[in-house]
Amino acid sequence: MFHEAGAGIVLLGVESVSVSVHIVTYNSSEHIEACLEALMIQTCQADEIVIVDNQSKDDTLAQLERWRSQCKIIINAQNKGFAGAHNQAIRGTDTDYCLILNPDVVLDRDYIKRIIEALERNPEAGSATGKLLFKSDPSQIDSTGLTINKTRRAFDRGAHEPSERYEQTEEVFGVSGAAAMYKRAMINDISVNGEFFDEDFFAYKEDVDVAWRAQLRGWKAIYEPMAIAYHERGWKEGGRRSKPLFVRRLSYINRYKMIWKNDRSSQVMKHVIPIFIYEAVSLGYALLCEPKLLKAWSSFFRKLPELKEKRKLIQTKRKAADPDIYKWFI
Higher pLDDT, 193 or 324: 193
What's the whole-number mean pLDDT along residues 233-257?
A: 77
First to last CA, the chain: 40
For residues 83-98, average pLDDT: 98
99: phi then psi, degrees, rounded to nearest 5: -95, 115
Q: How many CA atoms lie within 13 A of 242 on its CB side?
A: 7
- Give the whole-angstrom CA distance, residue 228 versus residue 114: 9
Query: Where in the sequence of the chain do the CATH 3.90.550.10 domains occur?
Result: 3-237
Within a 13 Å sphere around the CA of 84, how many CA atoms are in the beta-carbon half?
A: 12
Confidence check: pLDDT of 5 > 70? no
Does residue 207 contact residue 179 with C-beta atoms inside 8 Å? no
| Rounded (to 5) percent helix, strand, coil in the chain | 40, 25, 35
In the prediction, which pLDDT does 320 show? 78
Kindly tell me the sign of the dihedral angle through the C-alpha atoms of 314, 320, 321, 326: negative
The residues near 104 (Cβ < 8 Å, ≥ 6 apart) are 28, 30, 31, 35, 135, 231, 232, 233, 234
Q: Which residue type, as a one-letter code, is found at position 259?
A: I
Q: Is 74 exposed, middle or buried (0-12, 13-18, 19+ CB in 10 A)?
A: middle
| CB-CB contact of 23 with 67 (8 Å) | no
**Per-residue pLDDT, 16:** 87
The pLDDT score that the predictor gives to residue 121 is: 96
Interval 192-220 mean pLDDT: 97
pLDDT > 70 in the chain, percent: 93
Beta-bridged to residue 162, according to DSSP, are: 140
Rounded Cα–Cα distance for residues 153 and 329 (Å)? 9
Q: Is the dihedral of CA 41, 44, 50, 54 positive or negative?
A: negative
Q: What is the pLDDT of residues 108-157, one digit of tens each?
A: 999 999 999 999 999 999 999 999 999 999 999 999 999 999 999 999 99
pLDDT at 10: 42
The yes-or-no verdict on residue 97 having pLDDT over 70 is yes
Top-confidence residue, 10 or 45: 45
Question: 178, 143 in Cβ contact below 8 A?
Answer: yes
pLDDT per position as a tens digit, 170-202: 999 999 999 999 999 999 999 999 999 999 999
Q: Is the pLDDT of residue 254 over 50?
A: yes
pLDDT for position 242: 60
CATH class of 3-237: alpha beta
Distances (CA, A) of 242 to 116, 236, 238, 246, 247: 36, 8, 6, 12, 10
Residue type, 93: T
With a cut of 50, say whether residue 236 has pLDDT above it. Answer: no
pLDDT of residue 237: 44
CA 156 to chain centre: 11
Question: What number is the average pLDDT over the span 160-168?
Answer: 98
Query: Average per-residue pLDDT in the chain?
Result: 92
**CA atoms of 138 and 117, how far apart (whole Å):** 24
